[in-house]
Chain A
Amino acid sequence: MTTLQTVFAKAKADDRAALIGYLPAGFPTKDGAIAAASAMVEAGCDVIEIGLPYSDPLMDGPTIQDAVHRALTNGTRIADVLRTVEGVAKTGAATLVMTYWNPIDRYGAERFARDLANAGGTGTITPDLTPEESEPWRAASAAAGIDTVFLVAPSSPETRIKAVIDSCTGFVYAASLMGVTGARESVGSAAKGLVERTRAHTGLPICVGLGVGTGKQAAEVAGYADGVIVGSAFIRRILDAPDEASGLAAVRELGAELAAGVRG
């Protein structure tokens, strides 16, 4: 499997930021998610986050909520998430799962980590798991050889930043603004400062997410971060497309624009 370490090393060698795309498993359909994520890779995404659809996604804005609701409505289960990871990992992209904690907790931390690694997954992003509660998951992930990614936020004081990065392997996810997921007119002005504050404490790559949706924004973020994370903007393209083929074309188009953006 492609690891986050190799992705960031390669991007660094190319003197650019990595491009990370998000899509929930099961959206727009179970197979359609694999096709769309593969199109994102073809268009230039280095890393794919596969969302594990959850009934109560309290960190997500309306676009991702809508996509996740569709995924759950069409019966997407953890086996489908793992199958999606397997399909996407075959493209050569480093493939992570982004998930709220309860589905892993219920599935069993060790079992989930093992099954994810066997599917070719390289790690997880867990937006509602704090460092204080993360020990069982870090242990299970270490045993399975996968990375753990946690979030820092503009509101995080130094002590919290330190606690979060101590739990991270792979990279640190810097939330660009105080808010939920969703493309916005501008990336939060707090993002750059947060990346700088975080960089003072860690050598890990720092990637910025929340609110990024255009090539111009990607270029701006790539100016100070090691990776640019885009989710809602890809989903919006699929939601707005009249059919699956034009949705894939729209995803490729956005992927290319963002990929050009991270190359400055």
Chain B
Amino acid sequence: MTAQEGTVLSTADLAGNGAHGNDPDIHGKFGIFGGRYVPEALIPALDEVAAEYDKAKNDVAFLREFDHLLRTYAGRPTTLTEVPRFAEQAGGARIILKREDLTHTGAHKINNVLGQALLTKRLGKSRVIAETGAGQHGVATATAAALMGLECVIYMGAVDCERQALNVARMKLLGATVVPVTNGSQTLKDAINEAFRDWVANVDHTHYLFGTIAGPHPFPEIVRDFARIIGVEARRQMLELTGRLPDAIAAAVGGGSNAIGIFHAFLDDEGVQLHGYEAGGRGLESGEHALTLTAGSVGVLHGSRTYVLQDDEGQTIESHSISAGLDYPGVGPEHAWLKDSGRASYHGITDAEAMDAFSLLARTEGIIPAIESSHALAGALKLGREMGPEATILVNLSGRGDKDMGTAMKYFNL
């Protein structure tokens, strides 16, 4: 049996086989973005991960095992759901959701962690560490670690631990150790710093199971490839459902993994507009936002050259979002490249706009989305009004909103 037969993922499914012309070069560069800006001590580990991944992605046994886990454990393929009552607010455009909220653990994060947990075993390592903002990547990592018998430590900003208490409890129940990080802004950015510090000290037996498409090469490429299944499925499903490709795709962008996951299979489809929605927080003028691509500048953060929220001396500016999952002052280098090349466009959605969309989807369609995903939903409403009633918009509903109920209760006074 070859990789192309049966239900097994093909190399092309996993990584697009380079046909889209958007793979990084040998140094992990997407144009001027990406690369590696890390302590020398980590370079051999990054080389090891890159080399093992190159073998794995062409190994039928690995693809088969990953595919099996996606289908029998993660719950793939996830369905498409058309949301006509929600779309009434979108100028009559058709809005169709890709339901990543229906995966095991409730978000797109499960795809990447299953792939990287398999990679960890191939690397012969017994321990995984991860950073988490909203907790979804932490929960997914703890889940995969439990499934595969790996020791698991999750770094999470102390502020995020508080606003995502339910996910902290989940991770603990799954057997992970959760380490609250009290440095800096006590959010995702600082959790990443702390995870890197752990990795430098324990790299001989530990894999850093990176959660988004940021960080040093090869993480942006690996995480993208494992998340790519979202777009691969959605493309086929859209053709089945509507007979054509969507006119536009909307996805939320924090680090950028769910957005790249759905964008990537459509990069060569020039008629499909790609729209990323960042957290506008309290608005651009307030200075309290996470508008990395729309208001940031080119710099280096967490091992990668990309757009960063920084001051005139290169100090990282703390981001803000009502969504812990989007509260990050950096972004994956591939999004920086897609922005500069013009293939994708990026916009801000305020906390208030996101929460309106959150509430609207719940009331009109009976689906409670993650607040992250609500940024994409709010973006789709705007896009629909701009594009008109003939347009079909595919939204990546990247996760479900259970974890965000604490925030929603406060926001809506429930």
Using a CB–CB distance below 8 Å, which chain A residues touch chain B? 54-61, 65, 69, 72, 77-78, 100-107, 127-130, 132-133, 150-157, 160, 164, 175, 178-180
Q: Are A130 and B301 in contact (CB under 8 A)?
A: no
Top 9 A-B residue pairs of the complex, sorted by shortest distance between their CB atoms: A106-B314, A153-B41, A103-B314, A179-B201, A102-B314, A102-B300, A55-B316, A58-B196, A55-B315
User: Given the complex of chains A and B, what is the CA–CA distance between A154 and B200 in angstroms?
Assistant: 11
List, in ascending order, chain B residues with CB within 8 A of A154's CB.
41
Q: Are A101 and B37 in contact (CB under 8 A)?
A: yes
List, in ascending order, chain A residues with CB within 8 A of B201's CB.
178-180
Q: Are A101 and B300 in contact (CB under 8 A)?
A: yes
List, in ascending order, chain B residues with CB within 8 A of A151's CB.
39-41
Q: Are B310 and A102 in contact (CB under 8 A)?
A: yes
Most buried by B among A78, A127, A129, A155: A155
Interface secondary structure of A, over-half rule = loop
Query: Does B189 touch A at the CB level, under 8 Å?
Result: yes
Q: How many A-B residue pairs have CB under 8 A?
A: 111
Q: Are A102 and B41 in contact (CB under 8 A)?
A: no
User: Given the complex of chains A and B, what is the CA–CA distance between A60 and B129 in angstroms?
Assistant: 18
List, in ascending order, chain A residues with CB within 8 A of B300's CB.
100-102, 105, 128
**Nearest CB of chain A from residue B126's CB, rounded to whole Å:** 17
B166-210 residues with Cβ-Cβ distance < 8 A to A are 183-184, 189, 192-193, 196-197, 200-204
Q: Are A155 and B44 in contact (CB under 8 A)?
A: yes
List, in ascending order, chain B residues with CB within 8 A of A150's CB.
40
B140-174 residues with Cβ-Cβ distance < 8 A to A are none
Using a CB–CB distance below 8 Å, which chain B residues touch chain A? 27, 35-45, 183-184, 189, 192-193, 196-197, 200-204, 297, 299-303, 308, 310, 312-316
- Given A102-B301, A180-B200; A130-B37 close (CB under 8 Å): yes
- Given A151-B40, A152-B40; A132-B27 close (CB under 8 Å): yes
Q: Which residue of B lies closest to A99 (CB)?
A: B314
Q: Are B303 and A155 in contact (CB under 8 A)?
A: no
User: Given the complex of chains A and B, what is the CA–CA distance between A57 and B37 in angstroms?
Assistant: 12
Q: Are A59 and B39 in contact (CB under 8 A)?
A: yes
**Nearest CB of chain A from residue B246's CB, rounded to whole Å:** 38
User: Given the complex of chains A and B, what is the CA–CA distance between A102 and B307 in angstroms?
Assistant: 12
Q: Are A55 and B40 in contact (CB under 8 A)?
A: no
Instruction: Determine which of B200, B301, B308 lies in contact with A178 in the assembled complex, contact meaning CB atoms within 8 Å.
Output: B200
Taking A103-B313, A178-B203 as known contacts, 6 extra A-B pairs with beta carbons closer than 8 A to each other, sorted by chain A number, are A54-B314, A56-B301, A58-B39, A77-B313, A107-B314, A154-B41
Q: Which residue of B lies closest to A127 (CB)?
A: B39
**Nearest CB of chain B from residue A114's CB, rounded to whole Å:** 16
List, in ascending order, chain A residues with CB within 8 A of B315's CB.
54-55, 72, 103
Most buried by B among A103, A107, A156, A164: A103
Q: Are A160 and B313 in contact (CB under 8 A)?
A: no
Q: Which residue of A lies closest to B44 (CB)?
A: A155
Q: Are A133 and B37 in contact (CB under 8 A)?
A: yes
